[in-house]
Amino acid sequence: MKLRGLYAITDGPLLAGKFLPYVEAALEGGVTLLQYRDKSSDEARRLREAEALRDLCERYKTQLIINDDAELAARLNVGVHLGQTDGPLSPTRALLGSKAIIGSTCHAQLELAEQAAKEGASYVAFGRFFNSNTKPGAPTCSLDLLDEAKRTLHLPICAIGGITLDNAAPLVAHGVDLLAVVHGLFGADSTAEVTRRARAFNELLKV
């Protein structure tokens, strides 16, 4: 499967009261990967929401990724995205199997991406590139890093952090395959606008 296109990431507070309608509106506009990101400890709700997203993703032929929770991903038979504090990637690859999509946060460090590639990552994520509501303290990445990553890695490259329709084009020009977007997609005031933004992001990537 070719990993290229819009990578939509959910945000509980941002989507409060409109969670499934906004996610479906994004899927309607075309999403390659959908990440369920929920940092709360309400496991029953997390399972319920993740199951609802899995069913939606199956309908739209989109891959669901669970943030930071390999056990939940294994339970639902979907992919997972791991941060640097989640331990090595190899045990997760063993748990989820060879076909599962596993992504790795690499911040602004090529070495972390090279290590993730060795351990069986499906894609690597660099960021943040711009001011980000989700990760305000993360170090900033440069476009030069993308050029270097493109030269040395043979994996899809994901960019994350404050990405909007207004600032995404240079990232694509420097070789990004996946644009990971939270507020730039779901911070819209209607489902129609979410769908429009999703289509526009994919247009930038010519998906």
Q: Which residues are annotated as a binding site for Mg(2+)?
A: 68, 86
CA–CA separation, 186 vs 25, rounded Å? 9
In a 13 Å sphere around the CA of 45, the CA atoms on its Cβ side amount to 8
Residue 8 β-bridge partners? 34, 181
Structure tokens at 102: 């596993």
Length of the chain: 207
Q: How far is CA 128 from the centre of its chain?
A: 13
172: CB partners within 8 A, 6+ apart: 179, 204, 205
Binding positions are 35-39, 67-68, 86, 105, 132-135, 162
CB 152 within 8 A of CB 118: no
Number of Cβ within a 10 Å radius of residue 193: 16
